[in-house]
Amino acid sequence: MTGPTPTSTPSPSPTSSPSRVLICDDQELIRMGLRMVVDSQPDLTVVGEAADGDAAIAGAAALEPDLVLMDVRMPGLDGLAATEHLCAQPHGPRILVVTTFDLDEYAYAALRAGANGFLVKDAPAEEILVTVRAVLRGEVMVAPSLTRRLVERFVLHGPASASTPAQRRRLAALTEREREVLALVARGLANGEIAARLFVGETTVKTHLGRVLTKLGLRDRIHAVIFAYESGLVRAGD
């Protein structure tokens, strides 16, 4: 499982409508298993299934799901292309990548395309539900402890690339403290660890990180990590 496990999950309001989920996977047994898990919960409902990326895009347009469980390796249009298309929509659904391995290259590329986290296919039902609900709340389900592992595998060990002038201009808009916070986030530290390192409160760290995301035009923590490495703020061996 690739996401942090909250200590508790708030009970859904009895008057709220269930969150709508679209399942996209080319394996019928996987779709069936995910449907059973999701539909077992009163605050969640499966509104449709898709067997490839084209069907996922069409289903999302017709059914307006809140969340798509998106496989990445499928015949025809794969989950990466479908994720990129859906994330480009003004009011598109949140995307939870369904992958056989917790960190494969396709899943990483899907995160760069705008996906909101990982879901491992063989995860226990309880962990699947925790991850689904967290993503629906707006969280990104990539634990800080896994951030360095993800970056090392697909950024540090990938082809070296120089930062662009646009990236350097965006980086220059940050204050010195905001750059410090971004660098520590990129090294895999959680907010509490960053607070201890900088001798500030955790709320202060959250404030700085929020400003970093706003100034850089980034969606969430994991995309901040990617930017930090690609812009040259953090490098291998730092």
How high is the pLDDT of residue 138?
83
Query: Spelled out in words, what is the top-level CATH class assigned to the domain 149-230?
Result: mainly alpha
Q: Do domains 19-142 and 149-230 have the same CATH topology?
A: no
Distances (CA, A) of 158 to 59, 142, 203, 229: 35, 20, 34, 11
What mean pLDDT is predicted for residues 130-152?
75
pLDDT of residue 238: 59
pTM of the predicted model over 0.75: no
Percent of the chain scored above 90 by pLDDT?
A: 48
Of 66, 64, 28, nearest to 49 (Cα)? 28
91: β partners? none
Higher local confidence (pLDDT), 158 or 89: 89
Q: How many H-runs (helices) and E-runs (strands) does the chain carry?
A: 11, 5
Q: Please answer whether residues 73 and 106 qualify as being in contact, where contact means their C-beta atoms are separated by less than 8 angstroms.
A: yes
How much is the pLDDT for 55? Answer: 96
Question: Residue 6: which pLDDT band, with cuts at 50, 70 and 90?
Answer: very low
Closest to 84 in 3D by CA, of 59, 115, 55, 108: 115
CB atoms within 10 A of CB 156: 14
Question: What residue ranges do the domains of the chain occupy?
Answer: 19-142, 149-230
- pLDDT-derived band of residue 2, with 50, 70 and 90 as boundaries? very low
Predicted pLDDT of residue 229: 83
Q: Which of 136, 230, 129, 144 is nearest to 192 (CA)?
A: 144
Distance CA(48)–CA(63), nearest Å, equals: 8
Reference 66, options 82, 85, 46, 81; nearest CA is 46
**Residues linked to residue 19 through DSSP beta bridges, in sequence order:** 44
What pLDDT score was predicted for residue 162?
64
When mean pLDDT is compared across 41-55, 92-106, 133-147, 188-202, the lowest value belongs to: 133-147
Architecture of the domain delimited by 19-142: 3-Layer(aba) Sandwich (3.40)
Q: What is the mean pLDDT of the chain?
A: 84
